[in-house]
Amino acid sequence: MKPSVLVARAIFPAILDKLAEHFEVEANQADAIWGKAEFMARLQGKVGVFTTGGERIDAELLLGCPQLRICANMAVGYNNFDIPAMTAAGVLATNAPDVLTETTADLGFTLLMATARRVSESEAFLRAGLWNKWSYDMFTGSDIHGATLGILGMGRIGQAVARRGAHGFGMQVIYHNRSRLDAATEASVNARYVGKEELFRQADHIVLVVPYSAESHHTVAANEIAWMKPSATIVNIGRGGLIDEAALAEALAAGRIGGAGLDVFEGEPRVNPALLALKNVVLTPHIGSATVPTRMAMANLAADNLIGFLLHGKPLTPLNAQVLA
Ligand code: 8YV
């Protein structure tokens, strides 16, 4: 008898085929969003689950699913996992790092450029038929080349954004992180370590790529926004909860900062109506990793974690390896 696994959301058919070679698979190709009770009911008898970042795994769920041994997240972020509760229950957690680094950095840079050069706002103006003459100050934005790029969160994706800024656009890169990078890594991305306040005060463009947790909730609130230059822009490709959206919307509405580019939102997929009403913000629906090759690589990595662990005891990217001991 093959072990049983649950795939919580719709996924590439090729990934289901690959999983079906090794497991009894219950899939969700209709892509229904299951409530907690239904998710728990479907997990009965399953030893593994393929999650996509939105499914909460906590102590209460684990208590109701004693057979569960592994949760494989198709996302690098794992704020949907209560890791201490999973470790206490002896359940392995895996994520999908590395394979999305460059793709997500590309989107971060896309938002930076679209925000600084007012791409969404000017396209909406054109589509609305409002363009009837050229004028010297029409949609003037701020420069990207040679500007100061401030990166908050200098992990793999932050470093990939830094390389784009430093090597592609001649930007001065400053960063702030929980821990400072070693000198060789700093040199490779051409970035200078600064304090958080200095970063907000000096940067022309800020990119947020901090992992989300209770500690990083509202890392950017009214205080930090007040430190920003009046022309500065801010991009969030981490998690919505990193920014106090109400404070950001207020600053944008008052024109106290240049603009914002947001791929993630506090209550997504719901978007704060105050943000929707603003022109100086570029909004995308959490598409940081959304290219076909990258989503395929993420899905393959999550599937390989299930196969590696359940068949051979060897997951590829464990988050709580202590449960393997
Ligand atoms: C995912 C992400 O698409 O990997 C992450 O942490 O935010 C995105 O790449 C999202 O989590 C849904 O799986």
**Judgement on whether residues 129 and 250 belong to the same structural domain of the protein:** yes
pLDDT per position as a tens digit, 204-219? 999 999 999 999 999 9
Taking a C-beta distance cutoff of 8 angstroms, is the pair 275, 281 a contact? Answer: yes
Cα end-to-end distance, the chain, whole Å: 26
Q: How far apart are the C-alpha atoms of 194 and 36, rounded to whole Å?
A: 43
Atom of ligand 1 lying closest to residue 77 CA: 6
Give the residue numbers spanning the domain of 318: 4-97+292-324
How far away, in angstroms, is 199 Cα from ligand 1 center?
26
- Active-site annotation, residues: 239, 268, 286
* Residue from 76, 102, 305 to probe ligand 1 pocket by mutation (most atoms less than 8 Å from CB): 76
**Judgement on whether residues 128 and 215 belong to the same structural domain of the protein:** yes
pLDDT per position as a tens digit, 150-200? 999 999 999 999 999 999 999 999 999 999 999 999 999 999 999 999 999
| Other beta carbons within 10 Å of 9 | 19
How far away, in angstroms, is 86 Cα from ligand 1 center?
20
Q: How far apart are the C-alpha atoms of 77 and 71, rounded to whole Å?
A: 13
| Other beta carbons within 10 Å of 211 | 16
**Judgement on whether residues 110 and 248 belong to the same structural domain of the protein:** yes
**Judgement on whether residues 163 and 271 belong to the same structural domain of the protein:** yes
Per-residue confidence band for 298, with pLDDT thresholds at 50, 70 and 90 = very high
Mean pLDDT (whole number) for 2-11? 98
Taking a C-beta distance cutoff of 8 angstroms, is the pair 194, 174 a contact? Answer: yes
Per-residue confidence band for 14, with pLDDT thresholds at 50, 70 and 90 = very high
**Judgement on whether residues 93 and 196 belong to the same structural domain of the protein:** no
> What's phi and psi for 261, nearest 5 deg?
-125, 115
How many domains does the chain contain in total? 2
Helix 101-116 with 119-127: angle, nearest 10 deg? 60
* Residue from 56, 74, 305 to probe ligand 1 pocket by mutation (most atoms less than 8 Å from CB): 74
Q: Which residues line the pocket of ligand 1, CB cutoff 6 A?
A: 52-53, 74-77, 100, 288-289
Nearest protein CA to atom 4 of ligand 1, as residue? 75
**Judgement on whether residues 107 and 242 belong to the same structural domain of the protein:** yes
Question: Which residue's structure tokens are 């960063």?
Answer: 175
pLDDT of residue 63: 98
Taking a C-beta distance cutoff of 8 angstroms, is the pair 137, 82 a contact? Answer: no
Q: Which residue among 283, 300, 315 closes a domain?
A: 283
pLDDT of residue 262: 99
pLDDT of residue 245: 98
pLDDT of residue 56: 98
How far away, in angstroms, is 126 Cα from ligand 1 center?
32
Q: How far apart are the C-alpha atoms of 324 and 289, rounded to whole Å?
A: 29
Domain harbouring 178, CATH code: 3.40.50.720
**Cα separations (Å) of 287 from 46, 103, 193, 211?**
30, 10, 29, 17
pLDDT of residue 2: 97
Taking a C-beta distance cutoff of 8 angstroms, is the pair 257, 228 a contact? Answer: yes
pLDDT per position as a tens digit, 106-152? 999 999 999 999 999 999 999 999 999 999 999 999 999 999 999 99
Mean pLDDT (whole number) for 283-292? 98
Per-residue confidence band for 37, with pLDDT thresholds at 50, 70 and 90 = very high
Atom of ligand 1 lying closest to residue 73 CA: 13
How far away, in angstroms, is 142 Cα from ligand 1 center?
30
**Judgement on whether residues 310 and 257 belong to the same structural domain of the protein:** no
**Judgement on whether residues 32 and 87 belong to the same structural domain of the protein:** yes
**Judgement on whether residues 227 and 177 belong to the same structural domain of the protein:** yes
Per-residue confidence band for 287, with pLDDT thresholds at 50, 70 and 90 = very high
How far away, in angstroms, is 77 Cα from ligand 1 center?
6
Nearest protein CA to atom 2 of ligand 1, as residue? 75
- The DSSP annotation for 90-121 comes to T-EEE---STTHHHHHHHHHHHHHHHHTTHHH
Closest CA to 96 of 308, 294, 310, 257: 294
**Judgement on whether residues 167 and 150 belong to the same structural domain of the protein:** yes
**Judgement on whether residues 18 and 113 belong to the same structural domain of the protein:** no
| Other beta carbons within 10 Å of 82 | 19
Mean pLDDT (whole number) for 230-238? 98
**Judgement on whether residues 56 and 170 belong to the same structural domain of the protein:** no
Nearest protein CA to atom 1 of ligand 1, as residue? 75
**Average pLDDT of the chain, as a whole number:** 98
* Residue from 289, 291, 292 to probe ligand 1 pocket by mutation (most atoms less than 8 Å from CB): 289
